Amino acid sequence: MKSYGAAILVLLVLSLAAAGHGALQYGFYKGKCGTKDVEAIITGIVRQRFFGDTKIVAALLRMQFHDCFVRGCDASILLDGPSTEKTAPPNFSVFGYDLIDKIKAAVELACPGVVSCADIIIAATRDAVALAGGLRYQVQLGRRDGLISQAGDSLRNLPAPTITVPQSIQTFRAKGLSTSDMVLLLGGHTVGITRCSVIKDRLYNFRGTGKPDPTLNPNFLQLLRSFACPKIGGDNNMVFLDDPSSSLKVDNSFYKQLLQNKGILPIDQALALDPATKRIVQQLAANPTQFLTQFNQALVKLGAVQVLTGTQGQIRKNCRRRN
């Protein structure tokens, strides 16, 4: 009898804890917005934007990463203000905030105060990935929005492109993500661009040697030097992170490029050379479907980093401001 009472007590404590912390759930918004389908509203707006501007896929993937790595996936990247995360240099080239505003306005109209900005980032990224050739995946929702956003947190948490593989493994591990998750998530560079200024030292003066990075494929080096990134000027010229013919598509060609020593960012190329990661790169380069499936799983894991749920944080009315 005593142990029966104790079990009830434990259950009671657990359910009270759950009320405070909650958990992410599939179909979280079902029935919370009358008869309206919140996820379908988000998908519709992402589709509309995608068909006019495919760059939105890269924007959302990067936004999810830069949000989740800094105080968790709590939409802290969206807050406006003099020294919030979006003012930190690693976020200067992040865009797509207007799309999030548009989605937020639509879901607020459907059911005010219900859908978090943090969930919008995650669901919109899922939709964008599927539109760009990825597989559609289910996302668990129920995140709440954070109250704090500080530029210094972005500077401390977002890795620089010159990070080494062992350092990057550590950084991802600190967020609960494995080495394979890291290699898969860097596969986000299958879409999108960087600028010439970011890679100039690799092409002309690698680590102060006055020479190019010896790991770069020599023909590719010449191509980059002549067309995308001259020694003088051209700092804002676009450089595709993947093969240009595939750089709007979510696929495994990024890993194939790495195996040919055509990685653009130093950390990308290093994945194919470091003993801790090169086998994973080889496997992903050889198996297109494995990449698509596992990339989604890694995004789901990224989307669960340090989330606020239950009664934590708030549901912002406007993603750019605390209530």
Least distance to ligand HEM, CB of residue 211, Å? 22
CA distance 8 to 31: 30
If binding is defined by CB under 6 A, does position 93 make contact with ligand HEM? Answer: yes
Of 241, 228, 227, 219, the residue nearest 196 (C-alpha)? 228
Residue with structure tokens 């080239």?
A: 93
Query: Is residue 194 near ligand HEM by the rule CB under 6 A?
Result: yes
Binding mask 211-230 for ligand HEM (x = CB under 6 A): --------------------
Single out the residue of 46, 79, 151, 191 in contact with ligand HEM (rule: CB under 6 A).
Answer: 191
The three-class DSSP label of residue 238 is strand
Q: How many CA atoms, within 13 angstroms, populate the side-chain half-sphere of residue 189?
A: 25
Q: Are 184 and 290 in contact (CB under 8 A)?
A: no
* Listed ranges 23-31, 60-68, 138-146, 276-284: which one lies at the site for ligand HEM (CB under 6 A): 60-68
Tokens of 63: 């936004």
Residue with smaller CB distance to ligand HEM, 163 or 273: 163
Q: Taking the complex as a whole, how short is the minimal distance between the CB of residue 224 and ligand HEM, in angstroms? A: 14
Residue in 168, 253, 261, 309 binding ligand HEM, rule: CB under 6 A: 168
Binds ligand HEM by CB under 6 A, chosen from 77, 78, 186, 221? 186
Nearest residue to ligand HEM, by Cβ distance, number only: 192
Q: Of 142, 192, 212, 263, which one interacts with ligand HEM (CB under 6 A)?
A: 192
Count interface residues toward ligand HEM (CB under 6 A).
23
Min dist. Cβ of residue 90 to ligand HEM (A): 8
Q: Near ligand HEM by CB under 6 A, which window of 31-39, 103-111, 192-200, 314-322?
A: 192-200
Q: Between 111 and 163, name the residue whose CB sits nearer to ligand HEM.
A: 163
Chain length of the chain: 323
Q: DSSP states of 97-131 as a string?
A: HHHHHHHHHHHHHHSTT-S-HHHHHHHHHHHHHHH
Q: Give the shortest CB-47-to-ligand HEM separation in angstroms.
A: 19
3-state helix, strand and coil shares in percent for the chain, rounded to the nearest 5 = 55, 5, 40
Query: 238 - beta bridge partners?
Result: 195
**What's the CA gap between 84 and 109, in Å, rounded?**
27
Taking the CA atoms of the chain, what radius of gyration do you get in angstroms?
A: 21
* Residues 233-272 close enough to bind ligand HEM by CB under 6 A: 265, 267
**Residue 58: CB minimum distance to ligand HEM, A:** 3
Options 66, 126, 144, 202, the catalytic residue: 66
Catalytic annotation on 189?
Answer: no
> Which listed range, 149-157, 184-192, 228-236, 254-262, lies at the site for ligand HEM (CB under 6 A)?
184-192
Burial class (CB in 10 A: 0-12, 13-18, 19+), 5: exposed
Measured distance CA(264)–CA(266) in Å, rounded: 6
Determine if 86 is a binding residue for ligand HEM (CB under 6 A): no
68 near ligand HEM, rule: CB under 6 A: no
Vertex 32: Cα angle to 29 and 33 (nearest 5): 95
Instruction: Give the interface with ligand HEM as residue ranges (CB under 6 A).
Output: 58-59, 61-62, 65, 93, 159-161, 163, 168, 185-186, 188-189, 191-195, 198, 265, 267
Catalytic residue ranges: 66
